[in-house]
Structure 1
């Protein structure tokens, strides 16, 4: 597939997925994203500094192209800047399953990027990684995440009680009921057009 060329015709930049790097631009993008209210709680460890952002990025960058990955992650790139993230983790090769997660930094939200990126990730998981079932979950008080899942072709399968926990504004842990969604390799393709995946 050839690279999108909207920029050559003076159009708005075309968002793409690309592998994360440990370069300064991606480190700065991650640090900016997690500085927004509500984003910091999504990370296991603080990402308030460049060191913290680099530590978050390190597992996202494969050590070797020949290694069988336990996770596959992409940056959502808009005009050379990472504005979001999609990933499949906990890849299990016996049952061919994986766990999907995603985020988009607040300034880039409302453009359908998360749904198109998650659809592209799912296609990659089914065709390149050979997975059969993808799962994801979100707090019930985060319906926007459910809209992303539905746009990407996932089907809601139920509610898991007190599945996830996150720190509140005071740093205390709080548990949340979670909506469980899944998509199978045999499910119909979603209506959303998946983002193009760049090699680098």
Structure 2
């Protein structure tokens, strides 16, 4: 895999967004369907225009591979982290590398102190991404998320600037 870097989302990334959200596991993550170029451009615009955070495209070489973001930044210098990658790059360390870069940026550039994230307990790959980027397990939120009528527990992780 090429060197991983982060950059802002661009309108020309719309074909990648369409490709990524065509995957069944990704389509459930979006607030609405992303099936047209206009949908993809709207998604890019929403993530590019965050008032209380920042989202980055994860790039390997010249190919966009995923998204990593910190949102919900509060007056206590805490932020909520999210990440995903396209199916074609999963298991290759792309999400972990992107999350490490985002973490460095959030602490150094945004001056945040605490980053938090959560993942469904039935998603061990997401847990590996979090722990490989230095996020420690802090607890469990029972039956927090509901997808297609099924409730899922969420494991919480956090990382401090002092870790």
TM-score (normalizing by structure 2): 0.94
Structure 1: gaps of 5 or more residues: 1-11, 64-68, 188-200
In the TM superposition, structure 1's runs of 4+ consecutive aligned residues that sit over 4 Å from their partners are none
Indicate which of 182, 188, 195 corresponds to 2:158.
182
How many residue pairs get matched?
Answer: 163
Map 1:21-170 → 2, pairs under 5 A? 21-23=10-12, 26-62=13-49, 69-92=51-74, 94-166=75-147, 168=148
**Matches of 2:14 and 2:94 in 1, distance apart?**
20
CA distance in 2, matches of 1:183, 1:113: 19
- TM-score (normalised: structure 1): 0.77
Which shifted more, 12-21 or 144-153?
12-21
Cα offset, 1:80, TM superposition: 1.8
Could you say which structure has the greater relative contact order, defined with CA pairs below 8 angstroms and 6 or more residues apart?
1
Root-mean-square deviation (Å): 1.4
- 1:73-99 per-position Cα deviation (integer Å, ceiling 9, x unaligned): 11111232211110001111x111111
Could you tell me how far apart the structure 2 residues matched to 1:120 and 1:15 are?
Answer: 9
Segments of 5+ residues of structure 2 without an aligned counterpart are: none
- Kindly name which structure, 1 or 2, has the bigger radius of gyration based on alpha carbons: 1
